Amino acid sequence: MDNLFADRMNNVHKSFIREILKVTEDPEIISFAGGLPNPKSFPVEEIEKAVSKVLARNGDEILQYSTTEGYLPLREYIAERYSKKGLSVDADEILITNGSQQAIDLVSKVFLNKGDKILVENPTYLAAIQSFGLFEPEFKSVPLLEDGVDINAFQRILDENEIKLFYSVTNFQNPTGITYSKEKRQKLAEILKDENTVFVEDNPYGEIRFMGEDIPPVKSYLDTTVLFGSFSKIVSPGMRLGWIVANEEIMEKIIIAKQASDLHSNYFTQRVVYQYLIDNNVDEHIEKIKKMYRGQRNLMVSIIEEYFPEDVKYTKPEGGMFLWVTLPEGLSSMDLFDLAIKENVAFVPGKAFFTDGSGYNTLRLNFSNSDEEKIEEGIKRLGNAIYELMENK
Ligand code: PMP
């Protein structure tokens, strides 16, 4: 097959996490590596009812092709949910996607030529690196601090480069769990309003805030922002439903890209999820998820506090599914991975989330997909592995 594959395939590698997940299929291993919601949170019975209802009432229609933009009542529902939270959005500004992962692909198609510069957080969401990478851009990265990106560095990068897109996960970021402060969001909007750069705000975790106060999205300060949302973390990831919010000028192009990609997102699941949303108290359901994740996060933090060496740093996220660990300088999380696997515990070494090759001493831990017993036992084992790594140094 020499010389048959497109050049774009040269730069993009198989997802590192998928490779790691193969190792963790062994049931003996306690894995904090995946990024899965807790299946106990899935509304199985309610979805069963919604499926029966839409099939019985509208079977002929819902099995048919549909519009590229997505089912209008579902888009209206999303728009109304935003407006209740203070963001005024019209249903015409929303397009339903095959998860927010497809939103990344569509926005790339619409904006990126080969060699264009795209700015990402350092570290950033791994599958975004992979998705953007297929369009052969030049990656620039900006350090992520506790309350969002380093604004001085951000400004300097924009001054020195023509950046087309800035991709950011503003709430409970994957992989770090970090959330942008209100001040930082406003500052970013202020800077970007005079720049020829599109802010791409990926927000799949925003509804899973289990502590602290909600903060408005950057979209509410900067109209040209392209905002992504998803039902994956609040209803079901397997249904593959997300959405893009964008102004008319951008949306026109996104619709063309979406038509060419897949005509439209799965109409059946759009109708099922819509039926589920209107027949149930979704806020109550989300409260249950938050309660579950808050407990798991608190437990993970408290066991880390007790069993990790003192000079290991970690984030204490107020929502989402991940926390981020930084080992003392000189220690490698890849070496730790080998020791941890011997203790039957797994995580994702952080290096893969950096586009500049740094992050060798960092790692991501998922807390949403492990029950309390596993968190307690797994974090203790990981603590042992870290002590062992330090002793071997
Ligand atoms: N963006 C981020 C930051 C994510 O963490 C994920 C899921 N892991 C996605 C997008 C994709 O989510 P989905 O396609 O299921 O909406």
Tell me how far the alpha carbon of residue 273 lies from the centroid of ligand 1, in angstroms: 18
pLDDT of 13 above 80: no
Q: What is the mean pLDDT of residues 198-217?
A: 97
Nearest-Å Rg of the Cα atoms of the chain is 21
Q: What is the mean pLDDT of residues 331-353?
A: 95
**For the chain, what is the total number of helices (H) and then of strands (E)?**
12, 14
Neighbours of 201 (CB within 10 A): 25
Q: What is the mean pLDDT of residues 50-69?
A: 96
Task: Quote the pLDDT of residue 25.
Answer: 80
pLDDT of 347 above 80: yes
Q: Quick one: 49 exposed, middle or buried, by C-beta within 10 A (0-12, 13-18, 19+)?
A: middle
> Which of 125, 262, 269, when mutated, tests ligand 1's pocket best, judged by the most ligand atoms within 8 Å of its CB?
125
With a 6 Å cutoff on the Cβ, whether 333 touches ligand 1 is no
Distance between CA atoms of 319 and 332, rounded to whole angstroms? Answer: 27
pLDDT of 354 above 70: yes
With a 6 Å cutoff on the Cβ, whether 175 touches ligand 1 is no
Tell me how far the alpha carbon of residue 35 lies from the centroid of ligand 1, in angstroms: 9
With a 6 Å cutoff on the Cβ, whether 97 touches ligand 1 is no
Contacts of 333-340 with C-beta under 8 Å, sequence gap 24+, read 333/360, 333/361, 333/362, 333/363, 334/360, 335/389, 336/363, 336/385, 336/386, 336/389, 337/363, 339/385, 339/388, 339/389, 340/381, 340/382, 340/385
154-185 confidence digits (pLDDT tens)? 999 999 999 999 999 999 999 999 999 999 99
With a 6 Å cutoff on the Cβ, whether 237 touches ligand 1 is yes
- Residue 5 — φ and ψ, nearest 5°? -75, 150
Distance in angstroms between the alpha carbons of the first and the last residue of the chain: 44
- Total length of the chain: 393
Token pair 């586009």 in the structure block, residue = 355
Cα dist from 382 to 287, 322, 328, whole Å: 30, 16, 15
209-256 confidence digits (pLDDT tens)? 999 999 999 999 999 999 999 999 999 999 999 999 999 999 999 999
The dihedral of CA 251, 254, 256, 258: what is its sign?
Answer: negative
Task: Quote the pLDDT of residue 12.
Answer: 73
Neighbours of 102 (CB within 10 A): 23
Q: Quick one: 391 exposed, middle or buried, by C-beta within 10 A (0-12, 13-18, 19+)?
A: exposed
Q: What is the mean pLDDT of residues 355-367?
A: 97
With a 6 Å cutoff on the Cβ, whether 242 touches ligand 1 is yes
Distance between CA atoms of 54 and 75, rounded to whole angstroms? Answer: 17
268-311 confidence digits (pLDDT tens)? 999 999 999 999 999 999 999 999 999 999 999 999 999 999 99
- Sheet of 348-349: strand order equals 313-314, 322-326, 362-366, 348-349
pLDDT of 15 above 70: no
Q: What is the mean pLDDT of residues 355-373?
A: 96
Q: Which atom of ligand 1 has the smallest separation from the CA of 237?
A: 15
For the chain, domains (ranges, CATH) are 2-42+284-392 (3.90.1150.10), 64-279 (3.40.640.10)
Q: What is the mean pLDDT of residues 384-389?
A: 97
Distance between CA atoms of 244 and 224, rounded to whole angstroms? Answer: 12
pLDDT of 18 above 90: no
Question: Which residues neighbour 16 within 8 Å (Cβ) at sequence distance 6 or greater?
Answer: 126, 348, 352
With a 6 Å cutoff on the Cβ, whether 35 touches ligand 1 is yes
Q: Quick one: 2 exposed, middle or buried, by C-beta within 10 A (0-12, 13-18, 19+)?
A: exposed
90-139 confidence digits (pLDDT tens)? 999 999 999 999 999 999 999 999 999 999 999 999 999 999 999 999 99
Residue 313: strand pairing partners:
326
Q: In this prediction, what percent of the chain has a pLDDT beyond 90?
A: 92
pTM reported for the whole predicted model: 0.96
Describe the crossing of helices 333-342 and 372-392 by its angle, rounded to 10 degrees.
120
Nearest residue to 118 (alpha-carbon basis) of 147, 139, 146, 135: 139
Could you tell me if 140 and 157 are in contact, meaning their C-beta atoms sit under 8 angstroms apart? Answer: yes
Task: Quote the pLDDT of residue 10.
Answer: 82
Tell me how far the alpha carbon of residue 100 lies from the centroid of ligand 1, in angstroms: 6
Q: What is the mean pLDDT of the chain?
A: 96
With a 6 Å cutoff on the Cβ, whether 204 touches ligand 1 is yes
Provide the H-helix boundaries in the chain.
16-23, 44-62, 72-84, 99-111, 126-133, 151-160, 182-192, 248-262, 267-279, 282-307, 333-342, 372-392
pLDDT of 350 above 90: yes
pLDDT of 45 above 80: yes
Neighbours of 311 (CB within 10 A): 11
Tell me how far the alpha carbon of residue 235 lies from the centroid of ligand 1, in angstroms: 13
Task: Quote the pLDDT of residue 22.
Answer: 78
Compare 10 and 5 and report the one with higher pLDDT.
Answer: 5
